[in-house]
Structure 1
């Protein structure tokens, strides 16, 4: 029974309460069907492809992996495992799908095989093609399916037969139709090919990772197993060579040309009936980028506009794209605000901080936006769906919380999460009126999160404070656990319930937990995000200290003599940074998968913030944990530090922890290292995820003993 489970076990078993929750919604253009993924229970990892028929008001499975595989276990190729790691995908079954324009046909890969599903009838079948298959996508007319296998981009008839390669690798290091490492990991571009609106050609990325340096990730627990070779573009080293070609179904190939020396990063591709193929390409330093159109007859490109920024230029979901009548839609930073641009017009005011474009018509643009720098009395951690027209922005999500949407025509699927209830509520609206709901099978957590979301200090840092369940004002001050991510793209102070569950569990172990989103996190304004330019170690750490002290001064029951900090990935870096640089404030730290030497992290992320290491060695030294500057605190002022790392991590490789441990040992600083054999950056294994929480509490209790009376 769920009630008998501990929270750590339930949290691990449900994959952070994501299993059983509906996701990946699509709406048919005629408004008759909603397509989505969902597993059959809150502990079932296998996603089923579902259809909600709005006319008949019934749900039915269009593709059930257990039926299609006859009960056999799913088999994944190493390439597919790596692809899912980039997407942070821990579930199984149908993890992604693509539709034709009419939403009649879905294509998906399952156990390395290609399947299509007729959505009106709810029948699925396998297409016999070479495998293992990656990223199958139907043509807009539904007559064909393109997919990648063996590094080649191939096409097969949707009814089966006529399978052929449109482009094949000419060497082992080349692939067609797949995203390179930094595109998938850092640019939020997981695709590598795009159908023409007419369905007669594809625009395909050719990736050659021969220039990328090779790393080898070993499994020390199995010394008889050869290390895995990984092409990893570390900061300052060569990237993969990425180019584009137009591949006609008639066998023609036209190479797309642009100044790839100036703009080597292919960040976005959009191809719709609203205009010619549209590219967004970036300079390596990401301080300039160009919007290009492609001449499909010659492959030549034309520059629509170029943007520049003294720090860096952000990339945004859904941006850029065309309106149906041919106007460019994009998100841009302008006069201190993040705004929506439609053609030459700035369509939103600084009262909104636009985060993503969801849908575009001639009449309006649907976006997700938070409160911007000009907003008054805006609720912290909220994000709402807005309809932007020529006359202004109308908020469609009315309840407090965080919202997103998928829309086609008059039908909108609105997903809403709030602080006062677990999970998300999914409603289907037609012309603004609810006509259906999509049920979630996610489990209800065995505990309830009770965050108090506030603004802290002179900088008004977004923060959440969580106290033990049943805590009373006269119980006195509590040991403090700072629980940040603290870095770019990592919002933690969210106006949702599930975002704070782990923090609440730590609070219930006897801590006052503080989650603070300082400068660099995606809140409110470009200025807030870009304050960390060349300064991870200063701004992010200073804001944790400011938030802590400001909250204590405001009367929260925080014992400043017993302060711990924990985090993962960038949060792990911040936790180690805190105990090494500010032992006067932080008395214990837990650093999970920390980036300790930024020269070992990837190009697109690291160079965006710190520049090239050969050009800015002092910046890298100042922000590193393994240099003399990184270990600058007095050597006799030790603070307990636990470092945790998955040895199979190919994102933040275990070398980060090993180098930090060596530096600490050389400096005479005691610390603990917890290596996780066979674990990647995600730690999806149930036993590992559960015991990591328990071990962290045990460490904190040892490191922050009760105050003497």
Structure 2
């Protein structure tokens, strides 16, 4: 049996398909990457002229990431330590180049170096803006904790290209405003009380918005930064007894001057993940907001906020347009019709949903050269138990009803990671396992997004017990509609934190799980990044017993500890144990 190709087993990425889309602020251009595949032997960075539909290959070869000016008339990327731009080709630099970004006007290009310096190239001049080799401080790089909040960068151009906001890590992060003449001021907030810098975003008026959190992550502030003095002003407070979960794409300054933040509605019977503008609710409570893609101007009725979210079925993600007008109440229009997992990118008056580019009434499709998926899985989605846990059941191709089969419980990536999604690319490896003779079941236990804030946060300091209970209860509930599940032969499998839960399942409930595969499992939560572990278990100093309860043994009867990529060994082990 052939293994599904790696490209279809890593979160849905497919070689030859456009990805990393960006739309210029004026809507004139769309930039994207396309990776090499059988039908696309010349990968590279591409630009689409929206008015003419003309495609231009900006750079051939393995461009892994890029950045653009506001109008995308200047694109930059790094290759083998060198700096390249769409207008000047290779540009000489004083040092090895990481994370190059043109300023919004396209006049300057900034980059960071491996030894922690921040430099700016203007014409033929390469200027050191901050840092020194061996100085002990790193400028412009995302500090380790940033990744736990979804932030992958550490410096940002101002809209006019005259200032840079940059993180300085020593190792505690601080934030600074740098001008291109060597001047700089500190951004002032109580960093001892709020050590986590979650988000940084420049507003159209020239001020920046930042989000900071306490170490406990139970309280945060949205602050505006005065670019002249570095002083900050509180725009909103974020609070939760468990942890604050900011909405990606927020905070954001709306065209009418209000500051939009993500939050939760938890009163009068509501349990919703919503958007607020200066404290007023602007999304309907029935819409679970996952991400804000941008703001789209409209000829009449005012601009609309484009969001990715869920309304009803957690396995699906759709694109919605939300009114910003303060009169007339809250409303949202769904812009995607087909069931599935849809995404959006916005710039100017252009909206890209998946690969469809829309400007007014005109539409076009970005060309994809991706190979067809190896399998066409058809998981059966169910909501089970009194907790309405999202689940998916996948049978072998050509399964004959009445033939009982062993069960493989395939786990997700831990809290905050949804596994039961309506995306065929995400089910490729699971279909391979099904065709090997299993009914593959996946359950999004409490702690995963897409349902409601209370569903996500009930796991606080008791993740192991809640997640394991949900998985077992869901398996038992599914047999009502799926009698071919043989619950006397159940295997469990997961990677990372999914591998940790697989080990928990085998070690604590061997009466339910005959065997398990833990791929690169987490053994001890105390070894995870502090920001991640404390979000779900609290501080180790105050909750040592909780951490000990969530620790698993590195070996147990019926448990295979497997490195990533060991599919053949895993299949042989599970088949033998479930025979």
1:49-102: per-residue Cα shift (whole Å, max 9, x none)? 10122333232201113xxxxxxxxxxxxxxxxxxxxxxxxxxx2121111112
User: Which residue matches 2:33?
Assistant: 37
CA deviations 1:161-203 (Å, max 9, x no partner) are 111111014754311001011212x111111111111211111
**After the TM superposition, which residues 144-159 of structure 1 pair with which residues of structure 2 at under 5 Å, given as runs?**
144-149=108-113, 150-157=115-122
TM superposition score normalised by structure 1: 0.77
Displacement after TM superposition at 1:273 (Å): 1.8
Distance of 1:510 and 1:31 partners within structure 2:
50
Could you tell me which residue of structure 1 aligns to residue 153 of structure 2? Answer: 191
Deviations 1:533-587 (A, max 9, x none): 0012111111110111001133331111100000001110110010001011000
Report what 1:175 is aligned to.
138
Structure 2 unpaired stretches of 5+: 297-301
Contact 1:427 1:434 in 2 (8 A): no
Which residue in the other structure is 1:302 paired with? 233
- CA distance, structure 2, for counterparts of residue 257 and residue 169 of structure 1: 23
Secondary structure of 1:471's match? coil
Distance in 1, matches of 2:476 and 2:9, equals 36
Name the residue aligned to 2:313: 379
Check if 1:411 corresponds to 2:350: yes
The offset of 1:398, in angstroms, is 1.4
Distance 1:9 1:524 in 2: 30
Gaps of 5+ in 1: 1-5, 66-92, 119-123, 210-240, 372-377, 416-425, 632-637, 646-682, 684-688
CA distance in 2, matches of 1:472, 1:272: 58
C-alpha distance in 2 between matches for 1:17 and 1:247? 37
Give a deviation string over 1:394-444, Cα, whole Å, max 9, x none.
1111111111111223321110xxxxxxxxxx111122x452111222221
- Which deviations, in whole Å up to 9, do the C-alpha atoms of 1:191-246 show, x marking residues without a partner? 1111111211111110113xxxxxxxxxxxxxxxxxxxxxxxxxxxxxxx100111
How big is the shift at 1:318?
Answer: 0.7
Distance in 2, matches of 1:310 and 1:13, equals 39
| Aligned-pair CA distance for 1:45 | 9.4
Q: Distance in 1 between matches of 2:409 and 2:456?
A: 20
Q: Is the Cα–Cα contact under 8 Å of residues 333 and 339 in structure 1 kept in the other structure?
A: yes
State the 1:330 CA deviation: 1.4
In the alignment, is residue 447 of structure 1 matched against residue 381 of structure 2? no
Query: In the superposition, relative to structure 1, how do residues 13 and 292 fare at CA in structure 2: closer, same or farther (>3 Å)?
Result: closer
CA distance in 1, matches of 2:118, 2:542: 39
CA distance in 1, matches of 2:161, 2:206: 15
- Which deviations, in whole Å up to 9, do the C-alpha atoms of 1:241-287 show, x marking residues without a partner? 10011111121111112101100011111112235111100101100
CA distance in 2, matches of 1:600, 1:33: 45
Kept in 1: contact 2:247–2:289 (CA 8 A) = no
For the Cα contact (< 8 Å) 2:9–2:426, is it kept in 1?
Answer: no
The corresponding residue for 1:201 is 163
Shift of 1:298: 1.8
Superposed displacement of residue 11, structure 1: 3.4
Aligned pair in 2 of structure 1 residues 254, 170: CA closer, same or farther (>3 Å)? farther
Question: Which stretch has the larger CA shift, 503-512 or 332-341?
Answer: 332-341
Which of 234, 244, 250 aligns to 2:181? It is 250
- Which position in structure 2 is the counterpart of 1:3? none
Show the 5 A alignment for 1:284-303: 284-303=215-234
Aligned position for 1:370: 310
Once residues 207 and 454 of structure 1 are traced to their aligned partners in structure 2, the CA distance between those partners, rounded to angstroms, is: 46
Report the equivalent of 1:616: 543
The separation in 2 between residues aligned to 1:481 and 1:323, in whole angstroms, is: 47
TM-score by length of 2: 0.93
Q: Which residue among 576, 590, 598 is the counterpart of 2:517?
A: 590
Match of 1:59 in 2: 55
State the 4+ residue runs in structure 1 displaced beyond 4 angstroms: 12-17, 42-47
Query: Is this contact kept in 2: 1:176–1:205, CA < 8 A?
Result: yes
The 2-side partners of 1:497 and 1:565 are apart by 21
Which stretch of structure 1 is more off in the superposition, 291-300 or 559-568? 291-300
Counting only pairs closer than 5 Å after superposition, residues 303-702 of structure 1 correspond to structure 2 as: 303-335=234-266, 336-360=271-295, 363-371=303-311, 378-389=312-323, 390=325, 391=328, 392-415=331-354, 426-431=355-360, 433-474=361-402, 476-485=403-412, 487-626=414-553, 639-645=557-563, 689=565, 692-702=566-576
CA change 1:280–1:45 in 2 (3 A) is farther
State the aligned residue count. Answer: 563
Change (3 A) 1:403 1:62: same
